[in-house]
Structures are given as structure tokens and as C-alpha cells.
Amino acid sequence: MSLLEAVLMGVIQGLTEFLPVSSSGHLSLFKILFHVETDTGILFDVLLHLGTLIAVFAAFYKDIFRMIAEGFAIIGDFFKNIKIFAGNVFSKKDEPYYRLVDNSYRKFVMLVIVSTIPTGIIGYVAADVVEAAAEILLVTGSCLILTSVLLFISDRVEDGVKTPKNVTYSNAFFIGICQGFATLPGLSRSGTTITACLLSKFNRKFAVKYSFIMSIPAILGAVVFKLTDISTASVTAADLGCYISGVICAAVVGYICIKTMLVVVRKRKFTIFAVYCLLVGIVSVAGYFYAA
């Protein structure tokens, strides 16, 4: 893989991870059409996702740091409750327990955890299937068409009002399932999860924030899971330079696209992306049958 190919893939990742047109689908198409070989399986793809993760942190750092603080506070209150329980049982006391979820940020943390559970299970079980599917043009094209359908739906869903206080854990679990299936190449993660949020009656601004922040544990999990590739793949100094360049491009372009998406969702401007995905999907499917 050349430096130019790495940079182009970084730009593609940054654009398509947050714009609802499927980053995995476009990376798959790019590698198929231009015969790009990374020599390390999907390790480079995962590193590009790490670049977009940096963009999420940059765009929502205030919310993320508050959620981290509240997450540790939940753990602290949990152990305090254990101590209170022991005192109530063995010392015949009647002390009240701490409420673990007592504000919106704590609820936000718990919702993301619930969403991550089905995503992690699906991602782990279907990892080999997803990697194989990325090399099949028909799968990528079909999933892009499905993404188009989801985007058309999202623009026509009535505005919701749910914020963390009103979102149920069943809503979070459903969205996590959707994110798990969105690992398929061509099925946009952001498009799928934002549509799932809107169908669950989320406030449109919160739907975007939830979609992007809930991607953090999923991406971190994928990065940790694929770290084993480093021991089996021969990464040269030249490869490392290409990888770093790709990650930086993904982070910078991704940050710009996050800010763009906040406007796109509020103003119901998904239609242009839906048409784009439909056209690319049709061309991809046609190309598969033509090559066959």
C-alpha cells in the first residue's frame, strides 16, 4: 500500500464514517476497484476507525469527560451501597442507599453500556463473516441500497422529544442491535443508528450525539480485538508511516463531518445521501454481475 492510497483511504474513512454512506462499504469498494492490499487483514481499517474515534472525542469532549466522571461515580456509589447493605444486614441498621442513576449523564452512561452489549456480541460472532463480506461486491452494493432506504425513512420520521431522561433501556438495546448489524460493508453505522434513534423518538440533535458517542466502546473493542494482528502481521516502517498518515486524515476529515451531520439531521437533508447510496449500490451490484 502506497502513502497516497493510505491518505485517500483516511479521507474516505473520515468522510463516510460520519456522513451516512458507509465507511466500510466505501473502503471495501476502493480496495476492490484499485486492488489495494494492506497486508494486515482489516488491521488498517480498524486503525482508520481509531482516527474517527479521535474526531468523536474532539467534537464531544465535554460530554465524554462528564460521562467518564459520572461512570466512576456510579462505580463508587455501587460499592458504597454494598457497604450500606452489609451494615443494614449485620448491624441491624436502616440506612438509605445511594441512587446509582440520579442525573441525565449517568443515564446516558447506562444507555451506552446497554447498547454496547448486543453490538459486542454480534461483532464478535460475525467477525469472520464481515471480513469475508467486505471482499464481495454484491454484499457491499446490496447493503448500500439498504442504507439508502433507511436514510429515506429517517427524513420522513416525525420529530421526537426523547433525551436521556426519557429514553428506555429497551430503546438502547434495539439501537445496539442495529449498530451490530451495521458492521456489514455498505450498511452505514451512523445512518443505521441515527435512523434507529429517530424511530425510537429521540430528539434529533440527541440522536446524532448518541449515535456518535455510542460508537466509542464499539470502536475501542474492535481495536483491542484486532491488536492480535500486530503479532502476526509484518508491519514495516514504511507501512507504519502510511498507517499514521491515514489515521490523521481520518481524524481531521471526520471532525469536520461530525459538525456537518449535526446540521444535516436537524434540517432533514438525508435525501441527497440516500440517492447517492442508491446509485452507488446499484452500480456495485451491476458491476458484480457484469464481472461474473
Instruction: Write the pLDDT tens digit of every residue in 173-211.
Output: 999 999 999 988 889 888 999 999 999 999 999 999 999
Q: What percent of the chain has pLDDT over 70?
A: 92
pLDDT score recorded for residue 38: 59
Evaluate if residue 87 carries a pLDDT over 60: yes
pLDDT score recorded for residue 195: 94
Residue 66 CB-density burial (10 A; 0-12 exposed, 13-18 middle, 19+ buried): middle
How far is it, in rounded angstroms, from Cα 226 to Cα 180? 17
Evaluate if residue 27 carries a pLDDT over 80: no
Evaluate if residue 271 carries a pLDDT over 60: yes
Domain hosting 134: range is 3-291
Range with lowest mean pLDDT among 116-125, 131-140, 189-198, 211-220: 131-140
Mean pLDDT across 250-257: 92
pLDDT score recorded for residue 133: 82
Q: Which residue has the higher pLDDT, 263 or 61?
A: 61
pLDDT score recorded for residue 45: 73
Question: CB under 8 Å to 103, separation ≥6 — which residues?
Answer: 70
Q: Which residue has the higher pLDDT, 224 or 186?
A: 186
Range with lowest mean pLDDT among 85-94, 153-162, 197-206, 236-245: 236-245
CA atoms within a 13 Å half-sphere pointing along the CA-CB vector of 234: 0
How high is the mean pLDDT of the chain? Answer: 87
pLDDT score recorded for residue 15: 84
| Overall number of domains in the chain | 1
pLDDT score recorded for residue 233: 58
Evaluate if residue 80 carries a pLDDT over 90: yes
pLDDT score recorded for residue 270: 85
Alpha helices in the chain (DSSP H): 3-18, 23-34, 43-59, 61-90, 104-125, 127-133, 137-155, 169-181, 189-199, 204-213, 215-226, 228-232, 237-266, 271-291
pLDDT score recorded for residue 168: 96
